[in-house]
Amino acid sequence: MLEKITSNFQSPKDNFFGRLLLRMMNFGHRSISRLATSQLPKDADFKEIIDIGCGGGWTISRLLKTWSGARVHGLDVSEAAVEKSREYNAEAIADGRCKVELGSVAKMPYETDFFDAATAVETAYFWDPIDDALKEVYRCLKPGGWFVIALEAGTKGQARFWSRHVEGMHPYDADYLKEHLLAAGFSSVNVERRLVYACIVARK
């Protein structure tokens, strides 16, 4: 039973367990999602924000509320996730403030220097190869743009433990990602830790 759920973390399938997981993540990831969005300046005049690996769409809804002048995009490789995110944010989509696309971080369907900020909550472990993904996020951010990666398994031990149990998960911990963000060209990369949670905040 647990395996039927964890096998969906990498890319929720369009079946009972995939849809159940998307609903569960919209509740269960609220603390980590709040921690991620709280790393961004509340009073910034953001115009375009993206949540990468948006899952069921809860982080998108939080970004829409916090930066009411911004358009918020969602990107995910899973069709079930895209559908759930669109359903969860249907009102904002109808108002033209939100757009959710099917696609991978490895080849983001956006122009260069487009986003003011990007978030990635509980998804970076699945990005492979990680360096290509980080370079692609870097390309899509405006100069000075913000990138927040949030990890529930932020310590080396946690990342190693969960990667043995979750299909497609790599044991990337916060220090590893910091090193690779710097190699991708990001500057002022900082790691914020709360218990086992970690947020890595980077600027282009």
How many angstroms from the chain centroid is the CA of residue 177? Answer: 14
Residue numbers 51-70 binding ligand SAM by CB under 6 A:
52-56, 59
**Least distance in Å: CB of 122 to ligand SAM?**
4
Q: Which of 46, 67, 126, 172 binds ligand SAM (CB under 6 A)?
A: 126
Longest dimension (CA), the chain: 45
Residue numbers 30-49 binding ligand SAM by CB under 6 A:
33
Nearest to residue 20, comparing CAs of 5, 3, 33? 5
Q: Give me the 128-167 binding string for ligand SAM, x by CB under 6 A, dash otherwise.
A: ----------------------------------------
**Least distance in Å: CB of 106 to ligand SAM?**
6
Only one residue has tokens 């509740």, namely: 27
Angle at CA 103, nearest 5°, toward 99 and 109? Answer: 70
Asked if 85 interacts with ligand SAM (CB under 6 A), we say no
Instruction: Report the alpha-carbon distance of residue 84 to residue 91 in Å, rounded.
Output: 13
Instruction: Report the alpha-carbon distance of residue 165 to residue 160 in Å, rounded.
Output: 9
- The residues that touch ligand SAM, with contacts defined as CB under 6 A, are 9-12, 25, 29, 33, 52-56, 59, 75-78, 81, 104-106, 121-123, 126-127
